[in-house]
Chain A
Amino acid sequence: SQTIHQWPATLVQPVGSPLSLECTVEGTSNPNLYWYRQAAGRGLQLLFYSVGIGQISSEVPQNLSASRPQDRQFILSSKKLLLSDSGFYLCAWSVRWQYNSPLHFGNGTRLTVT
């Protein structure tokens, strides 16, 4: 069966420090991969999605970037964190080329920038 791992679960970082959140998927090949940010009362905001290795699409201009160095690995990064980067980050995958494939989410990372 397919599983998705996301880490760390919580992270406290000072302003100006770098960020690296990692997500890996097991049990499936060529997934679509996503990074969402969940804000209280505002739903989930799509940040990045990827349909293949090295292919990243950004939905919202911001201080963050994403990379996909391997088929089932998705990384969210920042060179210098801002206070506004605090939030709950979710990684998700879906089946490629399957219309209406639902999203499968990781457990999320709670990021607090101090």
Chain B
Amino acid sequence: AQRVTQPEKLLSVFKGAPVELKCNYSYSGSPELFWYVQYSRQRLQLLLRHISRESIKGFTADLNKGETSFHLKKPFAQEEDSAMYYCALHTGGFKTIFGAGTRLFVKA
């Protein structure tokens, strides 16, 4: 079955601390993974995608096919990183499956 699991509903860290938002997926094909973010009062938007191997706003995510994971990381969290984060799996065709989301709260 195709599934995306984000085990943490809420993650609270202090400003300047490292942050890791976990994402695990289940998919028999070659996965294409994304992280989307929703800041307060803003629309849901793409943060990064694994195929680009990019760093956006200091965030990176590495696809680990052996562990079927795509964790989102940032070495030093900022208050403006507080948001809802969704991991998403594109299964080919037209379907993108989302995880339940993790709310990140960065404390001053």
Q: Which A residues contact B (CB, under 8 angstroms)? A: 32, 34, 36, 41-44, 46, 49, 51, 57, 59, 90, 99-100, 102-108
Measured CB to CB, the nearest residue on chain A to B99 is A43
CB of A90 within 8 A of CB of B51, answer: no
Measured CB to CB, the nearest residue on chain A to B51 is A100
B94: contacting residue among A32, A44, A100, CB under 8 A = A32
17 A-B pairs besides A99-B32, A107-B43 with CB distance below 8 A are A34-B94, A41-B9, A43-B6, A44-B98, A49-B94, A57-B94, A59-B95, A90-B44, A99-B92, A100-B32, A100-B49, A100-B51, A102-B49, A103-B36, A104-B45, A105-B43, A108-B44
Measured CB to CB, the nearest residue on chain B to A44 is B98
Q: Which of B35-58 contact A (CB under 8 A)?
A: 36, 43-46, 49, 51
- Tally of A-B residue pairs with Cβ under 8 A? 48
B96 at the interface (CB under 8 A from A): yes
Q: Which B residues contact A (CB, under 8 angstroms)? A: 4, 6, 9, 32, 34, 36, 43-46, 49, 51, 86, 88, 90, 92, 94-101
If the complex has contacts A43-B100, A57-B94, are A102 and B34 also in contact, measured as CB distance less than 8 A? yes
- A41, A42, A46, A100 interface centre (most CB from chain B within 10 Å): A100
Instruction: Point out the residues of chain B lying under 8 angstroms from A99, CB to CB.
Output: 32, 92
